[in-house]
Amino acid sequence: MDYRVTFSKRALRELTSIVKFIAKDNPDAARELGEKLLDQAISLSHFPSRHTRHDNRNRVRKMPATPYLIYYSINENTHVVTILHFWHSARQNPIP
């Protein structure tokens, strides 16, 4: 059974910020990266538990989308994956 993928408001703000920042120098690259990150996130509708756990207590997982990480949680009862963050891998983790 496939999962439904949703995005937190914070994740959408982060994605928008990433794309706007890159678009200052290269609008085409920004669009491609934005599409790549969205495609990667949406791919979590199939077997979302394939990526490593980042925080067991909060059931947060992280998916590499080089040079970014996509942080997400899975609700097994409702079959919903929630994208929590789009985060550059060089930055400190957003979730303690």
DSSP letter string, 40-94: HHHGGGS-GGGSPEEETTTTEEEEEETTEEEEEEEETTTTEEEEEEEEETTSPPS
Q: Is residue 96 part of a domain?
A: no
28-54 pLDDT per residue, tens: 999 999 999 999 999 999 999 999 888
List phi, psi (to 5°) of 61: -120, 165
Residue ranges of the chain with pLDDT lower than 50?
none
Helix or strand (DSSP H, E) at 4? strand 4-7
Q: Is residue 33 part of a domain?
A: yes
Q: Is residue 93 part of a domain?
A: no
What number of other Cβ atoms are within 10 A of residue 11's Cβ? 21
d(CA 10, CA 51): 21
Instruction: Give the domain range for residue 58.
Output: 4-88
> In the prediction, which pLDDT does 96 show?
52
Here the CATH number for the domain that contains residue 64 is: 3.30.2310.20
By three-state DSSP, how is residue 36 classified?
A: helix
